């Protein structure tokens, strides 16, 4: 199952839980703000969060990571270029908008690499590099369940900003073409805005 929890700080952001119904283990994608609220959801549902997955290193997607992993003792995964943002408060924009954030302890996944649940290897997410909004942007998708967590690469009806440090409109266009090759019915879960599908965005 997928549960969206909208969290609020400087702005509002969608954090997502991707949970295996059989084992109650799962992943948390992009915990941007309100660690307490997210931890309460985990506790109430008796979930075991094995890992936090980051779509890109902007402050509004990573701000609650340290507080959450201190409690849940989970791993943190990101794309290979994540160091550009996670370890640079001027690139992750925390320096300007909220608080200085530096995250240095995380595991990187390469293009096409999978992260499987330890409790159930059948549940996994696969990484696709989608630079444009940021140089480190990735999406996590599961082609069997036909779902993808797309961060700020795609919002319903539009794409993410490309005027920020490390952004590239050209790279964005190329990433969109890559995403548009996925199944038309794949449901996309953005970091802001409602869900959409590949077909709708094409």
In the bound state with Zn ion, the residue whose beta carbon lies nearer, of 20 and 152, is 152
Smallest distance, Å, CB 61 to Zn ion? 6
Q: Which residues in the 146-165 window bind Zn ion by CB under 5 A?
A: 152
Q: Which of 58, 69, 81, 159 binds Zn ion (CB under 5 A)?
A: 58
Q: What residues does 149 pair with on adjacent strands?
A: 140, 189
- Using alpha carbons, list the distances in angstroms from residue 68 to 86, 98, 168: 16, 18, 31
| 98 is an interface residue for Zn ion by CB under 5 A | no
* # residues contacting Zn ion (CB under 5 A): 2
Smallest distance, Å, CB 116 to Zn ion? 26
Smallest distance, Å, CB 169 to Zn ion? 15
CB 167 within 8 A of CB 132: yes
| 81 is an interface residue for Zn ion by CB under 5 A | no
Q: Which residues bind Zn ion (CB under 5 A)?
A: 58, 152
């Amino acid at each position: 199952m997928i549960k969206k929890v909208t969290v609020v700080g400087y702005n509002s952001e969608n954090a997502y839980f991707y949970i295996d119904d059989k084992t109650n283990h799962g992943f948390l994608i992009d915990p941007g703000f309100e660690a307490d609220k997210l931890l309460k959801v985990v506790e109430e549902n008796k979930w075991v969060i094995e890992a936090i997955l980051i779509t890109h290193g902007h402050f509004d997607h990573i701000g609650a990571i340290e507080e959450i992993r201190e409690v849940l003792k989970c791993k943190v995964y990101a794309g290979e270029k994540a160091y550009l943002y996670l370890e640079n408060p001027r690139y992750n924009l925390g320096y300007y908008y909220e608080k200085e954030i530096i995250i240095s302890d995380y595991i990187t996944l390469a293009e096409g690499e999978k992260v499987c649940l330890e409790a159930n290897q059948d549940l996994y997410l696969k990484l696709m590099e989608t630079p444009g909004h940021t140089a480190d942007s990735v999406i996590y998708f599961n082609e069997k369940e036909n779902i993808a967590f797309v961060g700020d690469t795609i919002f319903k009806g539009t794409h993410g900003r490309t005027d920020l440090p490390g952004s590239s409109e050209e790279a964005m266009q190329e990433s969109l073409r890559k995403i548009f090759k996925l199944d038309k019915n794949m449901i996309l879960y953005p970091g802001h805005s409602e869900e959409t599908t590949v077909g709708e965005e094409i």
